[in-house]
Amino acid sequence: MNITLDSKDGVTLLKLREERLDAHNSQEFKDYLLRLLESGPKALVLDLSDVRFVDSSGLGALLSGHKNAGLREGRLALSGVQARVQSMFELTRLHRVFEIHPTVEDALAFGTGGTPHEPKPD
C-alpha cells in the first residue's frame, strides 16, 4: 500500500496513492489507520484524490477509521474525493457520516473544532 504521511498545523495528512481501495488492499489500509490512531494523532485528513474506485470493503475500512478516530475523540476528514467515489458515498448515504472536503486545504481550514463525527444534515 502506498501512503504518504505529512503533518501540518497539528493535523496528520495522509495521501492514499492507490487507484483503488477495494478487497485487495482494504484490510491493510484499515490496519494502517488503526495503528496510526493508536500511535497518537487525533486529527487526520485523508487525501483520496488518486483513488478512482472504492468498493464495499474500502468503504468499510474508511468507516472503521472514522469510528476509531471518534472513539479517541479524534477526527478523520476526507478530501479530494473524485466524482465516482463520491457517488458511492452518496449511494450508501455515507456522505452524511463523513466529513468530506474538496481539498486538503479546505479540510485544514475547517479546523479541529466542532463535532465532525455527528451526521451532517442534507
List beta partners, residue 54: 21
| Locus of grid cell 490496519 | 31
**Hey, what amino acid is at 2?**
N
pTM listed for this prediction: 0.87
The rounded distance, in Å, linking the Cα atoms of 45 and 3 is: 12
HSE-CB at 9 with a 13 A cutoff on CA atoms is 9
- Average pLDDT in the 27-43 region? 94
Q: How far is CA 18 from CA 79, 96, 101, in A?
A: 15, 24, 19
Q: Does the domain at residues 3-110 carry the CATH identifier 3.30.750.24?
A: yes
The rounded distance, in Å, linking the Cα atoms of 122 and 119 is: 9
Query: What's the pLDDT tens digit per position in 39-74?
Result: 988 899 999 999 999 999 999 999 999 999 999 999
Q: Name the residue ranges covered by the structural domains of the chain.
A: 3-110
Q: What is the largest CA-CA distance in the chain?
A: 35
Pick the range with the lowest mean pLDDT from 15-24, 27-36, 39-48, 104-113: 104-113
**Cβ–Cβ contacts within 10 Å for residue 117, how many?**
17
pLDDT value, residue 110: 82
